[in-house]
């Protein structure tokens, strides 16, 4: 009996086509927006009473373009014991006097220039001697290029890295044993330039990126070692001191945020042991766009930057 062989028809199952680029980006963007709104309206369980009697070392507490002075006043109102440091002694004395009027039980100050590698050890030892230990180390100092230095020279870059990165590392290393004993918190005040590259700020931005990488890695190390010290990274935008606004007048189109509100956001984040704080909150979206939508991100950045003014 002959059996005829007939070839069978093969059916290939094709995988479903992936989402198109615009569709995928839309899903990611909607997911990110949902996460942002949830974070914005989420109750952070902030209890001001936790800061009453807390021992706080705050750097960059006077002068400059930071929120240090407002941070000092908020901590004073909340009843914290303070050691304040900044470069300008006269300005520090003014802030100390105001903190005492606002109700701080103890306020001490030490003038120090973080461009000097010896300054961090002197500051931390002073704080430990005066307060007997630390519950919060709030790193807020910053420094721009000094007068007489070319902005992108090797000398200016070394100076910026010492002030805006290495001094943070030194202060952290020196204060960490005390913070470990008290199960305290490290609060690191940074800027958007440590998350998103921006034109015309190369050395400063490099130092801020290093800051974010260092403390993110340190957080993982402490977690693995079961060390109960919280690290809160605070990403702040432009705030409203006159020196800050004047320094970018005609260059940045972004509106300044209120300094007291930015400072309060930092304090709330540290007190609730949040891993990251964004103020204003829309900065979180810009950081997410860095990975998801690089071209729109560049467009958003250019809207806040007056290129012709920078070139001039």
**Distance between CA atoms of residues 210 and 258, nearest Å:** 27
* Spacing of C-alpha 66 from chain mean position: 11
CB 52 within 8 A of CB 79: yes
CB 82 within 8 A of CB 107: yes
**Distance between CA atoms of residues 95 and 83, nearest Å:** 11
Residue 204 annotated among the catalytic residues of the structure: yes
CB 123 within 8 A of CB 171: yes
**Distance between CA atoms of residues 36 and 299, nearest Å:** 21
**Distance between CA atoms of residues 38 and 185, nearest Å:** 25
Burial of 138 per CB tally in 10 Å (0-12, 13-18, 19+): buried
Catalytic residue among 109, 136, 204, 279: 204
**Distance between CA atoms of residues 259 and 294, nearest Å:** 30
DSSP string, 130-186: HHSS-SEEEE-----PPTTS-TTSHHHHHHHHIIIIIHHHHHHHHHHHHHHHHT-EE
CA atoms within 13 Å, Cβ hemisphere of 120: 20
* Spacing of C-alpha 208 from chain mean position: 9
Residues labelled as active-site residues:
204
């Amino acid at each position: 009996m002959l059996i005829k062989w007939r070839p069978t028809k093969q059916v290939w199952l094709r995988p479903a086509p992936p989402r198109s680029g615009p569709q995928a980006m839309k899903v990611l963007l909607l997911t990110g927006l949902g996460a942002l709104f949830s974070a914005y309206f989420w109750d952070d369980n902030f209890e001001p009473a936790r800061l009453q009697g807390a021992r706080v070392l705050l750097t960059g507490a006077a002068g400059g373009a930071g929120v240090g002075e407002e941070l000092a006043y908020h901590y004073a109102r909340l009843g914290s014991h303070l050691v304040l440091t900044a470069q300008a002694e006269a300005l520090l004395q003014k802030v100390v006097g105001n903190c005492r009027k606002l109700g701080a039980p103890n306020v001490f100050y030490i003038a120090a220039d973080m461009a000097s590698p010896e300054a961090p050890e002197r500051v931390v030892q002073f704080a430990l001697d005066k307060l007997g230990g630390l519950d919060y180390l709030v790193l807020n100092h910053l420094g721009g290029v000094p007068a007489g230095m070319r902005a992108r020279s090797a000398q200016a870059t070394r100076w910026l890295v010492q002030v805006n990165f290495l001094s943070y590392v030194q202060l952290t290393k020196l204060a960490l044993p005390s913070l470990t004993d008290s199960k305290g918190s490290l609060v690191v005040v940074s800027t958007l330039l440590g998350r998103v590259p921006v034109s015309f700020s190369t050395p400063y931005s490099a130092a801020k990126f290093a800051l974010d990488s260092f403390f993110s890695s340190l957080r993982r190390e402490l977690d693995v070692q079961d060390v109960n010290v919280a690290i809160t990274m605070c990403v702040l935008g432009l705030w409203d001191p006159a020196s800050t606004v004047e320094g970018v007048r005609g260059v940045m189109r972004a509106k300044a945020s209120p300094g007291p509100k930015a400072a309060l956001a930092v304090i709330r984040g540290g007190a609730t042991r949040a891993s990251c704080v964004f103020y204003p909150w829309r900065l979180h979206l810009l950081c997410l766009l860095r990975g998801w939508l690089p071209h729109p991100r560049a467009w958003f950045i250019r809207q806040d930057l007056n290129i012709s003014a920078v070139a001039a």
